[in-house]
Each structure stands twice: as C-alpha cells, then as structure tokens.
C-alpha cells in the first residue's frame, strides 16, 4: 500500500482507507482510558462504506460478475451508494441506488451529484417485498449487465475490514489495544474488524454498540432477536443476523440512546472540532461504556463513520430536532 501523504495517488481508489486514528480528549478524560477513533469521514466518499464498496466491486470483477460497461445496483441508507458511485465512476461503471426516502437530503443530493441513478422507496420493514434491499435486488435481476452489490450478505464487505480496518488499527496502536466497538448496519465493520483484530490477539474485547430499534443487543445478550424502542440514526440498526455478522466474535454489548449519542456529537463538535453524524456519536458512547467496563488505563478504539455535514438538514437543524424530540445543538438554538 502506498503512503499517499508522501507519494501521489494514482487514482481515487488509492485514497480509500488508511484513515487517521485520533485520540478523543473528552471521552479519554471521562474514563481514564485512551479512546481512539478511526476518521472514516476522511474517505473520498465521506464514510466508512467506501472500503466495502471497493472490495465488493473488485471481488465481482475478479469473479467475472462485473464486466466493462456494467452497472452496479444496491439498496442502501446512502453511504454505501455514495461509496459505490465513487468507485464505479473511477472504474467506468454506472450505478443505480435504491434508498428509503427517510434518509437525509444531503445523501440523496450527493448521489445525484455523483451521477448515480437514484430510486427512492418508502421506508418499510424487511419482511415487506418493497423494502429497499428487495427492490434493489429486483432491479438488478431486470437490468442487463448488472451486479447486485448485496452489502448485507456479500462477505466481501467484511473482508474489506479484515484486510484494511483491522490491519490499520493494529499497526496504528502498535498492537496496544484492549477493546474495539462499533454499531452495526450490515455488520461488515464490526465482524470484519473484530475477526481481523482477534487474529492478532484473541484477548482484545470486541463489543457491539447497538442503537434502540435494533434487535442485536438482545440477540448477543439473551440469544433472542428482539427490538425495543427506536432511533433516528441513519445507517445503523439491524434486525437479523446478516451473512456478514455470522460468526462475529462479540464479547460484550451495549445499548445506546439517540440522546446519549447526540450529546457526544455536540461535545465532539464544540470541544474537539470534529463534525460527525449520529452513528459516530453512538459509537463514542459505546466506546465510553466499554472503557468503563475494562477499567482505567486501557485503550479502546471505535469508528467515526461519517461527517455531520451529511446531516445539516437534520441533526444540525433545530427545527428538525424538535420534531424528533432530540436535543438540538444549543449554540444553534441560540441564533434560531
Ligand atoms: N454508520 C453509518 C453512517 C453508516 O452509513 C453505516 C453503514 N450502513 C454504518 C455506520 C455501519 O457500517 P456497517 O454496514 O459496516 O455495519
């Protein structure tokens, strides 16, 4: 892998991954631990999902499932679609992206700007045939030369994190880490990073950080897939064991409310200059919970999945926060 800080990158694909690891001052001071986080918002498509997008496309090319002039179809909360559009533009493929209409305006506008063909569908449960995942599969089946990326059950997704995220975290901490935690959308990040880190050291504690409205906390705590409550966090919250989650080495689990995640989003913005989405705030709350469980002096790593700039119309819009019963950024309320 080339070091793009000292050598020019040959293309945008070489800018994917190799993200910096940053020490989070507030969370570290609050726990007496070192809480470190991967700056995934620095990927060219602006999120952690660029890694999976690249591996899914290159795996399909290697299998002969995607040929020159082909089209990649995917159902996504948005970030995987953006990652796929970046990768496909650089490689000469088209993209068709199916997304629930409840996701942020910024992600839709970004997909349109990238030239992706955007198909918006009403939000529906997974059991509904019109759910965005099933809709995307049908479109792929009906489109000549199409690859269905299938991020939930295509394990090229988690392989990206075994190969890149886990390897980077191991190298960047010099192997001195005691825990890793993050939330789950597809499960690629948690399972892949968990499996990769365990290959280096089985003693590293891998923890799930689940939002409300997802079923995994109860699954790992009590063996039962059962959701309670709800969350407005985009890109996370899973109700089933995807192929990417199969065999994930989960040692502990935490459940984090939106209010707690939002609090960290606000603090990290105003105290550390980090502009983040809600899944990042929830991940940081999970890292704090894991650090408290492991005890002072330990090192815990988590993920800063995407930027708050993707949520200016929601998380950083006091009117929207009011409609969702969430605390608005106090510094914005003052001027609203
Ligand atoms: N946070 C955000 C903002 C995301 O878009 C996603 C991907 N859906 C995740 C976290 C979770 O990543 P994964 O799919 O690897 O579980």
Burial class (CB in 10 A: 0-12, 13-18, 19+), 117: middle
Ligand 1 pocket, mutate which of 19, 106, 107, 279 (most atoms under 8 A from CB) = 279
- Interval 27-66: pLDDT, tens: 999 999 999 999 999 999 999 999 999 999 999 999 999 9
pTM of full prediction above 0.90: yes
Report in angstroms the alpha-carbon separations of 208 from 148, 191, 200, 294. Answer: 28, 10, 19, 14
Residue 8 has pLDDT above 70, yes or no: yes
Least confident span in 39-43, 314-318, 329-333: 329-333
Q: Is the CB of 75 under 6 A from ligand 1?
A: no
- Interval 278-298: pLDDT, tens: 999 999 999 999 999 999 999
Residue 4 has pLDDT above 90, yes or no: no
* Residue (of 116, 105, 189, 112) closest to 152 by Cα position: 189
pLDDT at 2: 79
Q: Which of 38, 49, 91, 107 is catalytic?
A: 49
d(CA 216, CA 231): 14
Contacts of 317 (CB under 8 A, 6+ apart): 328, 332
3-state DSSP call for residue 186?
A: coil
Query: What kind and span of H or E run contains 229?
Result: none
pLDDT at 335: 56
d(CA 88, CA 177): 35
Percent of the chain, pLDDT > 90?
97
ipTM above 0.90, yes or no: yes
Ligand 1 pocket, mutate which of 104, 236, 240 (most atoms under 8 A from CB) = 236
Question: DSSP letter at 74?
Answer: E
φ, ψ for residue 283 (rounded to 5)?
Answer: -60, -40
- Is residue 49 part of the annotated active site? The answer reads yes
- Interval 183-210: pLDDT, tens: 999 999 999 999 999 999 999 999 999 9
Q: Which domains does the chain have, with CATH numbers?
A: 12-43+165-332 (3.40.50.1100), 48-148 (3.40.50.1100)
Q: How far is the CA of 184 from the centre of ligand 1 (A)?
A: 6
Within 10 angstroms of residue 201's Cβ, the number of other Cβ atoms is 12
Burial class (CB in 10 A: 0-12, 13-18, 19+), 325: exposed
């Amino acid at each position: 892998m080339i070091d793009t800080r000292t050598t020019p990158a040959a293309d945008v694909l070489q800018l994917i991954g190799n993200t910096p690891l940053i020490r989070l001052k507030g969370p570290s001071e609050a726990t007496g631990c070192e809480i470190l986080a991967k700056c995934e918002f620095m990927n060219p498509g602006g999120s952690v999902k660029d890694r999976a997008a690249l591996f899914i496309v290159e795996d399909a090319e290697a299998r002969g499932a995607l040929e020159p002039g082909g089209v990649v179809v995917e159902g996504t909360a948005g970030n995987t679609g953006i990652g796929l559009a970046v990768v496909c533009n650089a490689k000469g493929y088209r993209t068709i992206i199916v997304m629930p209409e409840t996701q942020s305006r910024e992600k839709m506008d970004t997909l349109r700007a990238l030239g992706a063909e955007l198909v918006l569908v009403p939000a529906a449960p997974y059991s509904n045939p019109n759910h965005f995942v099933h809709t995307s599969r049908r479109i792929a089946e009906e489109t000549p030369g199409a690859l269905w990326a299938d991020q939930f059950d295509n394990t090229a997704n988690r392989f990206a994190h075994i190969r890149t995220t886990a390897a980077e975290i191991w190298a960047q901490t010099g192997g001195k880490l005691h825990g890793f935690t993050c939330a789950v959308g597809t499960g690629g990040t948690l399972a892949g990073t968990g499996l990769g880190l365990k290959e280096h050291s089985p003693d590293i504690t891998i923890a799930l950080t689940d939002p409300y409205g997802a079923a995994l906390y109860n699954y790992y705590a009590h063996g039962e897939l059962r959701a309670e409550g709800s969350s407005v966090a985009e890109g996370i919250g899973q109700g089933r064991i995807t192929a990417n989650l199969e065999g994930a080495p989960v040692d502990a689990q935490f459940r984090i409310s939106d209010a707690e995640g939002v609090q960290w989003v606000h603090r990290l913005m105003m105290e550390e200059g980090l502009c983040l989405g809600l899944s990042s705030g929830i991940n940081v709350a999970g890292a704090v919970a894991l650090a408290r469980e492991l005890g002072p002096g330990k090192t815990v790593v988590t993920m800063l999945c995407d930027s708050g700039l993707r949520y200016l119309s929601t998380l950083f819009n006091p009117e929207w926060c009011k409609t969702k019963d969430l605390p608005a950024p106090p510094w914005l309320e003052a001027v609203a």
